[in-house]
Chain A
């Protein structure tokens, strides 16, 4: 149980285009999802917290107009990287809290490797 599916796993796009990444909770309802970014050999950097039906909460330094997050349902959150540039190339990972509340671990998607050329 508690599977999080993230799609696509890998995407290559040209500079200036937009890319959408989907994160789905397959067998549970996720009222809160988190989006992380990971640089090579580094830890996860929290980008934003996504709550179903409300605006995402962005971490300091993360451009909300560049990284658009939508959490329209209890099982789907999307991250759109707008007008992508090579410096946006990274590994993006979503996660969701299970229904056990704060005692429950985060469940992670398998990540999306974004390469902007």
Chain B
């Protein structure tokens, strides 16, 4: 079965500090992994993706994520948080195998990031 886990409902950090939003996954075959951000009453915005290649992926707004196959994790990171980074973050996985499930995204339940001044 395909699944994504975001173990933290809430992450709070001070502005200027590094942040990490955790994600682990379970999927058939090699995973395609994505991070999205959602601001209130808005759709999701794509941040970054891992398909293949370097385990460290760089994305929008200074975010990056590290793919760790042995730990089946894809944690989102940023070296220095901004107040404007405060939003809801979703990790998602798309299986590369699986017949009818091919193409669809499976989302984690989201992590609310709050960066205080």
Contact = CB atoms under 8 A, between A and B. Distances in A.
Interface in B64-117: 90, 94, 96, 100, 102-105, 107-110, 112
* Size category of the binding interface on chain B: 20 to 34
B14 interface: no
Interface of A (DSSP majority class): strand
Nearest to B49: A105
Contacts of A109: 43
Contacts of B34: 105-106
Given A43-B108, A43-B109, A44-B107, A102 B41 contact: no
B110 A110 contact: no
B77 to A, nearest CB: 19
A113 B109 CA distance: 19
Interface of A: 4, 6, 9, 32, 34, 41-44, 46, 49, 57, 91, 93, 95, 97, 102-103, 105-111, 113
Interface of B: 32, 34, 36, 41-46, 49, 51, 90, 94, 96, 100, 102-105, 107-110, 112
